[in-house]
Amino acid sequence: MDKDYYNVLGVAKDASAADIKKAYYRLAHKYHPDKGGDEKKFKEVNEAYQILSNKSKKQQYDQFGQNFEGFGSQQGFNGSPGFDSADFGSINIEDIFGDLFGFGQRGRKRNVNQGRDIEVSIEMNLKDTLKGIKKNISISKLVSCSRCQGTGAEPGTRLKECVTCRGQGQVQQIKKTIFGSFATYIVCPECHGEGKIPEKPCNVCKGEGRITGKEDIEILIPAGIDSNQMIKIRGKGEAGRRSGKHGDLYIRVFVLPDSKFNRKGDNLYLNVSIPFSMACLGGSIGIMDLEGKKISLKVPQGTESGKVFRVSGKGISHFSGYGKGDLYVKLKIEIPKKLSKEQKEALNKLKEKEL
């Protein structure tokens, strides 16, 4: 049955070389046998890539379609398509599969002892965003063992060289694939990449260098912070294994809604009701800003319901620390539901005058 190599890789016929390569990496990762994938599919993907990634072969395939036979004569090890320098150009096989399937080169040591990052959430009132405030939080996490000071070794003993990796932190492993055998390096399972192990493990942390505990942390929340923003505190995540680097602490802030003020960016919005007479005759009203300070607002004669007034600099502080947003006051004319006898008489007189 004739194969549609473009269909195998899931790309269009006018796909660029970069798109073809990207599709190949994705499918190779998906179907690789060492990752539990379908070996037959994996071979089909490689076959398609060998044609479409080679300029001359791709041109022949596009020209002759189902009659294209240029690929059949080139077979590589294990019956799989052959790979030569012309096919791969500047692509390095170990670079490809080192990233995709965990193959590594000697000298690439991953910091497996580093502690995990932590994310916590806190709530605060809208008013608290006007100025920077301090908050104290208590976090349960892995902390450095106080007995061994995080080394994992019992006090009075030392750390010795790992005999498995001879202090290198990694060991060689022979990886067998359909492409053949590769010599790769993995993190040493004995010392977990450190190159050293405790001569005698700490009695408290059992050689880990860390235990479960609590830490009280004071955090400074800057003025102008908005809901769902994050604050990062370096080194306040979980302790690393055996004196490994601490992770970081991420604090996600949620600003609670206010009963009167609505926030949009650094601006505040407030709805205020005024009597009908003030809308007609004009006057002034006193309102409170978010800080609780009184502001006098002048209402011009003939103000319509829904009119918005801007009060400069009475919003939220900009997160950059420079300047503030504005306060927008929307006036609503209040229509009384019940009128006194005198009010009715006055309105009837105005009605007679068509007002």
pLDDT of residue 343: 79
Half-sphere exposure of 219 (CA within 13 A, CB side): 26
CATH 1.10.10.10 correct for 5-101: no
Give residue 80's pLDDT band: very low, low, confident or very high (50, 70, 90). Answer: very low
Residue 65 has a pLDDT of 64
Domain residue spans in the chain? 5-101, 118-255, 262-352
**pTM, two decimal places:** 0.59
Given pLDDT bands bounded at 50, 70 and 90, which one contains residue 2? low
pLDDT digits (tens, 9 = 90+) for 216-233: 999 999 999 999 899 999
Task: Return the pLDDT at 340.
Answer: 85
> What pLDDT digit, counting tens, does each position of 146-159 carry?
999 999 999 999 88
Query: Which string of b and e fits 158-188 if b means at least 16 CB within 10 Å?
Result: ebeebeebeebbbbeeebebbeeebebbbbb
Determine whether domain 262-352 maps to CATH 3.20.20.70: no
Tracing tokens 């473009």 back to the chain, one arrives at: 6
pLDDT interval class at 111 (50, 70, 90): low
* Each residue's pLDDT tens digit, 231-267: 999 999 999 988 889 999 999 999 999 999 999 999 9
**Residues 272 and 289: beta-carbon distance below 8 Å:** no
CA distances from 50 to 83, 93, 221 (A): 8, 13, 55
Higher-pLDDT residue of 320 and 17 is 17
Could you give the 3-state DSSP secondary structure of residue 302? coil
pLDDT at 272: 95
Give the pLDDT band of residue 100 (cuts 50, 70, 90): very low
Cβ atoms of 49 and 19 within 8 Å: the answer is no
Domain spanning 118-255, CATH architecture: Ribbon (2.10)
